[in-house]
Amino acid sequence: MHLLKRVVFYAVVIALVIFAALPFYWMFITAFKTERDLYNLKAIPYIFNEPPTLQHVDLLFNRTAFVQWLQNTFVVGGLVVIITLLIAIPAGYALARLAGRYSEPLGIGMFLTYLVPPTLLFIPLSPVISRLGLQDSLWALVVIYPTFTIPFCTWLMMGFFKTIPIEIEEAAWIDGDSRIGTLIHVVLPVSLPGIFTIVIFAFTLCVQEFVYALTFISSTANKTITVGVPTDLMRGDLFFWGSLMAAALIAGIPVAIVYNLFLDRFLVGITGGAIR
């Protein structure tokens, strides 16, 4: 019976690993297949039936602005993460410690704003961006993205701060530290899992966001990955599948590695913020 349980357990684990790794394998093999191998219906699709080629990667790097899209994505993501941290951390702490009986309603209200779909918001946001003179500018995304990263991250940090015993803060106050000093010297070091969680969350949202980037960015040089790859590598009914998969692989692997390397901290941050 014990042996049967172990066999079933490892069978399920192997099946889940194959299920999770299959998209990456498919992207990898498609990115390096020749056009003839890729469109040969009689060939086995899961292996190289012909010697692999770098022509799709060459097209991606030398005949598109993929490197610029990567740079734009990281610039926007980095700035949005910084803005989110500067606002969400003190806001979450204020809701957790200073808002009293209004903290829960306020936190729920902020979380509900995160649930409003971008397809409803990009229309009223358009005149705002126009009046600010940020059309076709990366700053348009830097201004807009915090509108959905800050509410959720504030709610998450509020829940995480509530899990920290108030006694450690009171001990710091007795030692003569101010509330801000206690936040910096005591609370933030304990809250690193939660902070790391909102960093990953905010950056991931910026990397995968499509509607706002498509609406407010038009020139190729200012596009991010999510818009540049599909708009420049899908031309009418012509799909550059090899280059599309190469772009998805290059953009997806770093995020997957970060999630796997820091999965324990990420889970601690999510579960800590969800306790209350």
**pLDDT by residue (tens digit) across 233-254?**
887 777 888 888 999 888 888 7
At 2-57, the pLDDT tens digits run 777 888 888 898 999 889 888 888 889 988 998 888 888 888 888 888 888 888 88
Q: How far apart are CA 58 and CA 64, in angstroms?
A: 9
Q: How many CB atoms lie within 10 A of CB 92?
A: 28
pLDDT value at residue 275: 44
Residues 108 and 232 in one domain: yes
239 forms beta bridges with: 234
| CATH classification at residue 265 | 1.10.3720.10
pLDDT value at residue 276: 44
Residues 74 and 43 in one domain: no
pTM: 0.81
Residues 40 and 72 in one domain: no
Q: Which of 49-63, 122-136, 158-172, 215-229 has the lowest mean pLDDT?
A: 158-172
Alpha helices in the chain (DSSP H): 2-31, 35-38, 55-62, 66-97, 103-114, 118-132, 138-144, 146-162, 166-174, 179-182, 188-190, 192-208, 211-216, 225-233, 241-261, 263-274
Backbone angles phi, psi at 133, to 5 degrees: 70, 35
Residues 46 and 71 in one domain: no
Average pLDDT of span 50-69: 89
269: containing domain: 60-274
Residues 41 and 131 in one domain: no
**CA dihedral sign of residues 252, 257, 258, 263:** positive
pLDDT value at residue 265: 59
In a 3-state reduction of DSSP, which class is residue 73? helix
pLDDT band with cut points at 50, 70 and 90 for residue 273? very low
Backbone angles phi, psi at 66, to 5 degrees: -60, -40
Residues 43 and 69 in one domain: no
Query: Does residue 274 surpass a pLDDT of 50?
Result: no
Q: How far apart are CA 13 and CA 137, in angstroms?
A: 45
Residues 23 and 92 in one domain: no
Average pLDDT of span 102-123: 74
Q: How many CB atoms lie within 10 A of CB 149?
A: 25
Residues 258 and 131 in one domain: yes
Backbone angles phi, psi at 44, to 5 degrees: -75, 120
On average, the pLDDT of the chain sits at 82
Q: How far apart are CA 155 and CA 107, in angstroms?
A: 5
pLDDT value at residue 266: 57
Residues 24 and 112 in one domain: no
CB 46 within 8 A of CB 29: yes
Q: How far apart are CA 159 and CA 146, in angstroms?
A: 19
Token output for 30:
């498609």
Average pLDDT of span 113-127: 79
- What are the Cα distances from residue 196, in Å, to 138, 156, 169? 25, 11, 21
- Report the domain count for the chain: 2
Q: How far apart are CA 141 and CA 150, in angstroms?
A: 14
Of 222, 174, 246, 218, nearest in space to 73 by CA: 222
In a 3-state reduction of DSSP, which class is residue 116? coil
Residues 126 and 72 in one domain: yes
Residues 198 and 221 in one domain: yes
- Computed over its alpha carbons, how large is the radius of gyration of the chain? 23
Residues 81 and 141 in one domain: yes
Q: How far apart are CA 101 and CA 178, in angstroms?
A: 23
